[in-house]
Structures are given as C-alpha cells and as structure tokens.
Amino acid sequence: MEVTSTDLLQELHKFTRRLSEVIEHDFLSLSDRQIQWQETPETWSIAHCLHHINMASAYYYPNINQGIKQAKAAGQKPRPTFKSGWFGQKLIENIQLDSNHQPKRKLRVPSTFSPIDQPAPNNSAQALVTTYLNDNKFFMQLLEEAQTVNIKKTRVAIAILKFIKLRLGDILQFTLYHNERHIVQLLRIRYHPKFPKS
C-alpha cells in the first residue's frame, strides 16, 4: 500500500516519542536489583531487553545515518509517496505486534544481538535506560533528516544478512516496531506479580 512519505515519517516520530515517554515513566526510577530481576533463569530481565534494543540501535542507527548522508551527497530529492518492498513488508509484518499488543510469532535472536551471548559492559539501570533514551533522540533526528531524501530509493543493509539492503522507509519502520516489541516485553516484566518492589 502506498502512503504519503511525510505522514509516515511524522507518525514514526510520534511513535518514537511515545516509547520514550513509557521508558521515562515506568523504568527511569528502577533500581539495579529490579532491572536485573528474572522470573526464571531462562527468561530475559529488563536489563537483557534494554541491552538487546541498544545493541540493535548501535548497528542500525549509524547505518541509517550513513545512508541518508550518501543520499544527500548524491543529490536525492524526497519522493511524495512511499511503498514498502516485498521483503521489507514481510519483515515488518513479522516483527509487528498484533491488535492485542502480542507478538504474532516467536523470533530467534541472532547471537550477535543476544544479551545472553553479548553481556552489557555496564548493566546499571541508569546506564541502560539513558542509552535507550539518547538513542531515541538520535532516531527522531534521523526521521527528520529522512524527510529530505527519497526513502524508497535510499537503501540500508539489514543486520542478519548484510548483503540485503532494504528501502530506508522499511528499515525505519522495522527498527521502531522491533523496539516496540521489546518495550511491551519490558512492561510485562515490570508489572509481573512477582516483580520486586524495590
């Protein structure tokens, strides 16, 4: 389905801001004990979820930034409408939550982005939350910059298969819906009946 490029980018910008507000409201004041809590040894903690999001952002955001810079250097002009590519649309559909805010399917996390296989150098609650919020500010800047280029023609490599490059509009949606997926996971942990009070 074809959409207006400006409307898509503005909607993603608002959505990113809402996710930041959730993190600020529900997670900014948590203790290290709370952020490390796991329901079972096999399940992720809040720290695991945030570290995973932050690792994915550390890959995608600089590459998105580079793609936008290259598009500008090539003299690209924004296109009024955007339509997802076939593969990009499939990735977005797989990562998006359903109407009940539940994952449509369980996805395997590549080891390079696994918080179990790649432990955070600093697992403090404040550091992980601050990194996420700063990354979100940068992502909102990228969304503003994306309005100056053709988000259909500009391409960015995906993390798991770097020889595959998706349309910028698809990568922006994919990364944001990926973050939403894990923030809903964070909320499930945060409001679990056994979650520590302090």
pLDDT at 121: 63
pLDDT at 105: 67
Q: Identify the three-state secondary structure at position 83.
A: strand
* Residue 195 placed within a domain: no
* Residue 167 placed within a domain: yes
* Residue 19 placed within a domain: yes
Residues 6 or more apart whose Cβ sits within 8 Å of residue 128: 35, 47, 50, 51, 54, 120, 122
* Residue 142 placed within a domain: yes
pLDDT means per 10 residues, the chain with 198 residues, are 94 97 94 92 91 94 96 94 95 87 71 70 80 97 97 89 87 96 95 93
Is residue 44 within 8 A of residue 115, CB to CB? The reply is yes
The CATH number of the domain where 94 resides is what? 1.20.120
What is the C-alpha end-to-end distance of the chain, expressed in Å?
47
* Residue 31 placed within a domain: yes
pLDDT at 158: 85
Token readout for 118 is 């790649």
Q: What is the largest CA-CA distance in the chain?
A: 55
pLDDT at 60: 94
- Position 130: which residue type? T
* Residue 196 placed within a domain: no
Distance CA 77, CA 71 (A): 8
Domain count for the chain, please give it.
1
* Residue 83 placed within a domain: yes
pLDDT at 111: 67
Find the domain containing 174 and state its range: 2-190
Crossing angle of helices 168-190 and 86-95, rounded to 10°: 10
User: Which is nearest to 44 in space by CA: 193, 186, 196?
Assistant: 186
* Residue 197 placed within a domain: no
